[in-house]
Amino acid sequence: MCGRFTQTSSIPRIASRFGIPEALIHAQDGPPRYNLAPSSAVLAVRQADAGRELVRLKWGLVPHWSVEPKTGYSTSNARAETVDSKPAFRSAFKRRRCLIPADGWYEWAFVPGQTWKQPWYYSAQDAEPLALAGLWERWEQRDVVLETCTVIVCSANTLTAPVHDRMPVILGEDDWADWLDPETPTEAAKTMLQPCPEAWIQTYPVSRAVSVARNEGAELIQPVVL
């Protein structure tokens, strides 16, 4: 799963990294976020007629056919194996794929003999924002419009497996254009949903303070000694 992640890069840096022209930046810059949880507003990159655009979406996808602007089950993550068949995601997977910039994400490991879990932080080896594979959706009813997203997760690679058996799908730059293109067939898009190479990321243990969703600050991603 991917239940917490960070977006600490500035909007200008994200725009440069993902090739977003200034005219298509539809989100204002804000403070760095070190502990984004489901229901947070997160930055996302999606394809518009004029090019790639940067927007803020609520994390936790609400299908366009939902009766209410909420769901009765968690839609913050979509499993790679079933994203093309699950009713909540299959429509978005066909035409509304996005990239979610992330400077890193957290997972929690069981600690033998303890009732608490140890958080670990994962980030890019080259310190660049990672491109998480996501989907976005637009829910509309009367005069209410809600745009939401989900993060796609796949099986873990050998670096992340000791802590958790799932990880977010991280797309390499060579796949960004095809992933965002709504004309890319779902069969081709699904082949991209694989664990990333271990060499792309690094990991280390961090403070248990990140386990409390209201906590924020750069100290959350500082390594700790176990």
**Per-residue pLDDT tens digits for 8-51:** 999 999 999 999 999 999 999 999 999 999 999 999 999 999 99
Residue 187 included in any domain: yes
Total structural domains within the chain: 1
What is residue 24's predicted lDDT score, i.e. its pLDDT?
A: 98
Q: Rounded distance, CA 170 to CA 58, Å?
A: 20
| pLDDT above 90: residue 142 | no
Residue 14 included in any domain: yes
Residue 216 included in any domain: no
Top-confidence residue, 70 or 190: 190
Residue 9 included in any domain: yes
What is residue 3's predicted lDDT score, i.e. its pLDDT?
A: 94
Residue 121 included in any domain: no
> Annotated catalytic sites, by residue?
2, 107
Domain containing 21 equals 5-106+126-157+165-198
What is residue 202's predicted lDDT score, i.e. its pLDDT?
A: 98
Task: Decide: 8 and 123 in contact? Cβ < 8 Å.
Answer: no
| pLDDT above 70: residue 115 | yes
What is residue 200's predicted lDDT score, i.e. its pLDDT?
A: 98
What is residue 70's predicted lDDT score, i.e. its pLDDT?
A: 77
What is residue 161's predicted lDDT score, i.e. its pLDDT?
A: 97
Residue 141 included in any domain: yes
Tens-digit pLDDT profile for residues 192-207: 999 999 999 999 999 9
pTM beyond 0.85: the answer is: yes
What is residue 74's predicted lDDT score, i.e. its pLDDT?
A: 86
Q: Rounded distance, CA 218 to CA 35, Å?
A: 10
Longest dimension (CA), the chain: 55
| pLDDT above 80: residue 144 | yes
| pLDDT above 70: residue 72 | no
pLDDT averaged over every residue in the chain = 96
What is residue 43's predicted lDDT score, i.e. its pLDDT?
A: 98
Dihedral of CA atoms 37, 82, 90, 130 in degrees, nearest 10, equals: 40
Do the strands 51-59 and 77-79 form a parallel or antiparallel pair, or are they unpaired? unpaired
Residue 48 included in any domain: yes
Could you tell me the pLDDT band of residue 93, with boundaries at 50, 70 and 90? very high
CATH number at residue 143: 3.90.1680.10
Mean pLDDT in residue range 111-127: 95
